Amino acid sequence: MLKLFSHTPAETVPAPTVRLADAGWPSPFRQGLEYSPPARGPWTIVHVGYLIPECHEIFVCAAGCLRGVVLSAAELGLQRRFSTITVTEDQLREGELESTMISGVTHILEQLPKRPPAVLIFSSCLHHFAGADLSWVYRKLSEAFPDVVFTDCYMTPTLRKSEMPPDNKMRRQLYHGLHPKKVPSGGLLLAGSLEAFGPASDFARAARAAGVPFYEIPAAATYEDYQRMAEARAVVTVNPAAKQAGEMLASRHGMKLRTLLLDYDEARIDRSVAELCALMKIPVWDTTAEKAAARAALEEARKTLAGRPVAICQTATTRPVALAKRLVDAGIRVTDLFCDAFLPADREDFEALREKAPDILVHPTITPVMRFAAPSRKRDDIVAIGQKAAWFTGATHMVNVIEGGPWWGHGGMRSLAVAIAEAAKTPADVDRIISVKGYGCNGCC
């Protein structure tokens, strides 16, 4: 008979919390062994790869590594576009890593009812430790299947601190399959974002004013739509993890690149809008009304919160410190930040915020002792922005968002403020939401 055991330390271990006034920059906490809290909103490389329409993913890994990625595919309901090849100790010992990959991929493609236009092959740490000749593998596969675009992808978590992080690498590889155009017709591409910003975004607005299409991979419904992105002559990234994607598109396709990071400061947003307009060679539009609408929404959020505390985590936005400062400036009581490190772009806001709100508590999320930090009881007196903030505070009111959502510019600030007010009024089924591995999957987010 199986019996469930749980471990509780003999005495409570204090969490490594620090006041913002005393927090070190840019890493307030010691890095080492890491804990992963059970708030699964951020996407995995499986989720990201499926942004390419009609693609098929093949993971070539040891059996233990495959368990998690299989669950990610199942969560999306895309098991029919997902395959695995198990790497064994015998194959490693006998030098069969390359031949196993070729024969495995060949078998999978021959068994599929329809040949996919694109195949993402995820090699593992083992292939790189053993020095497998992956270039030869991809060359042989391309010769055998000339109608398929093979993209090299990587499931190499053991190398994430010594090489380009897997998330950055995956976002870059999303655009590997684009066929370069001899004479691109033009357009604006927003690269590396997980959610569609849509036709109401500032990026779509700038493209319309310039008389060119607006492209973004989450909005691509077919592989043909995906290939049209290569027509763009300008590319913008707003997420730090998309840096290498933008650089690759600029280098390989000759697109003009602008990095316009997500921001919450009015003056900096105006500067980013001006840069966007300069990129598209259009007049800068008047943002007066948009700024007023954002301020009004923030004031409504402040009234709705009625002094209740707000906690923010680094998975909710790429700029948690900038967001905290904007909320504090609007009279909203931010009490907690869950950040393992700070983004260089947040330095100005960090210094200003530690003067204005020095008692904000900064908590890590991955330090091992944080496995004891989640409260035993739920709290309805706090509003969490982000899933990890909700997990560690026990909040029942949560703004469910990752990476800032599709909210950029003054309109994005307004949308976030509206979401905060709504979260303050309406409790969420937090436990159910954060149990889903990727935000937006299974229709619960």
Tell me what pLDDT residue 4 has. Answer: 43
Residue 441 — pLDDT band, cuts 50, 70, 90?
Answer: low
Distance CA(88)–CA(104), nearest Å, equals: 13
Task: Work out the angle at residue 40's Cα, subtended by the Cα atoms of residues 38 and 44, and round it to the nearest 5 degrees.
Answer: 130
Instruction: State pTM to two decimals.
Output: 0.92
Token pair, residue 286, equals: 């008047």
Answer with the residue of higher pLDDT: 199 or 40: 199
Tell me what pLDDT residue 25 has. Answer: 94
Distance CA(170)–CA(294), nearest Å, equals: 34
Average pLDDT rounded to a whole number, residues 117-140: 92
Distance CA(44)–CA(310), nearest Å, equals: 27
18-19 vs 361-363, strand pairing mode: antiparallel
Average pLDDT, the chain: 92
Token pair 């001006």 is found at: 274
Distance CA(192)–CA(216), nearest Å, equals: 8
| Contact indicator for 437, 71 with CB cutoff of 8 Å | yes
Token pair, residue 431, equals: 């436990």
Total length of the chain = 445
Tell me what pLDDT residue 337 has. Answer: 98
Tell me what pLDDT residue 162 has. Answer: 67
Distance CA(362)–CA(378), nearest Å, equals: 20
Tell me what pLDDT residue 11 has. Answer: 46
Distance CA(374)–CA(6), nearest Å, equals: 15
Distance CA(365)–CA(34), nearest Å, equals: 9
**Lowest mean per-residue pLDDT among 81-85, 94-98, 295-299, 411-415:** 94-98
Distance CA(129)–CA(131), nearest Å, equals: 6
Tell me what pLDDT residue 70 has. Answer: 81
234-237 vs 256-259, strand pairing mode: parallel
Token pair 């395959």 is found at: 83
Helices (H), 96-236: 97-111, 125-129, 134-144, 166-173, 202-210, 223-228
Burial classification of residue 136, based on how many CB atoms lie within 10 Å of its CB (0-12 exposed, 13-18 middle, 19 or more buried): exposed
Terminus-to-terminus CA distance in the chain, angstroms? 37
